[in-house]
Amino acid sequence: MRPLGPLMLDIAGCELTQEEREILCHPVCGGVILFARNYHDPDQLQALTAAIHELREPRLLIAVDQEGGRVQRFLEGFAALPPLRQLGAGYRQDARRTLARVESAAWLMAAEVLCAGVDFSFAPVLDIDHGRSEVIGDRALYDDPEVVAELGAAYLAGMHRAGMAGVGKHFPGHGYVTADSHAALPLDERPCGEIAATDLLPFRRLVAAGLDAVMPAHVVYSDCDPRPAGFSPYWLRDVLRGELGFDGVIFSDDLSMQAAVEMGTVETRALQALDAGCDMLLVCNDPPAAITVLEALERAEPPAGLARRLDTMRRRAAPQWRDLHDSRVWRQALAALEGAHVPA
């Protein structure tokens, strides 16, 4: 039984091709990320995830970005999840009710995704809404680090209650920079101490609360390190692993994003990300680059502890099938979601 490898790839459509089956069986592969193009309806999605899980043992991890709002890959047949900013908007008026609503929305998201055969969503977003970043914007829960930490913990609790591991992103915080890392390499020039006191705070709190995985940002924090966080041993080994004591899985953000491209060839990017401390690398929307990385990683040592961390991520939050088949729990979650619209 071969352990899962450190590479997460995407696929082209709603069914696996023979070439994709062969690639996903390669020892370097460890997971698949799904996009809107991979979804037609719930039945098709269940057939696709079953086909992926049948390929090998241990099963490949299947992931998706199902945050809500403008970042929701599965739409028709799934609950229309509001953006996180909308979920958190009522905190000052009624903190207890807002926290309960956030937890219920996270449970609903996780329950629907798990029932479709997808293992986890890359959530929660723990970035601060500084009012500067369009790419983050309403994906952030709030504009106050303390409140983001509290709301983020409620979101993580909802995911865990459904049986889904949580992936906090984008470490140590993407909300202050204006550039979109999909199109450029953002630069955050604030002092390290300011970043640690604000944007890093939700990650610190959620690591202590049992956060299972983290995705670093393709952002340079120039006062701390000249490299983007996802390629930085300072951020991943010294701060995340060392200072915060995090022992979960570190997923790179997509190595095909423009912010990552500026680090060199895709092979260079992959090896630098592994060397910095990433456990699993995402290469999306670029099949030739994916093959290049797959071949490059054949010659590289897998991250130390990868199999253990992935196994812990699975065991820490196993699907709670009793709740997932209890219609009363679903009705309660949907009722909470419908109350997410807070008057301005």
Q: Which residues are catalytic?
A: 182, 253
User: What is the DSSP pairing of strand 220-221 with strand 167-171?
Assistant: unpaired
Q: Are 217 and 181 in contact (CB under 8 A)?
A: yes
Structure tokens belonging to residue 240: 């995340």
Return the residue matching tokens 């303390």.
146
Reference 31, options 230, 265, 252; nearest CA is 252
User: What is the DSSP pairing of strand 220-221 with strand 213-216?
Assistant: unpaired
Q: How many CA atoms lie within 13 A of 249 on its CB side?
A: 32
Q: How distant, in Å, are the alpha carbons of 4, 190, 219, 229, 242 from that of 34?
A: 18, 35, 24, 24, 32
Q: How many CB atoms lie within 10 A of CB 93?
A: 10
Q: How far apart are CA 314 and CA 25, in angstroms?
A: 20
User: What is the DSSP pairing of strand 220-221 with strand 187-188?
Assistant: parallel
Classified as helix, coil or strand, 34 is: strand
- Cis amide leading into 233 (omega within 30): no
Burial degree of 104 (CB within 10 A; 0-12, 13-18, 19+) = buried
DSSP 73: S
Structure tokens belonging to residue 310: 């992935």
Q: How far apart are CA 41 and CA 24, in angstroms?
A: 23
Q: How far apart are CA 316 and CA 76, in angstroms?
A: 30
Structure tokens belonging to residue 50: 């079953």
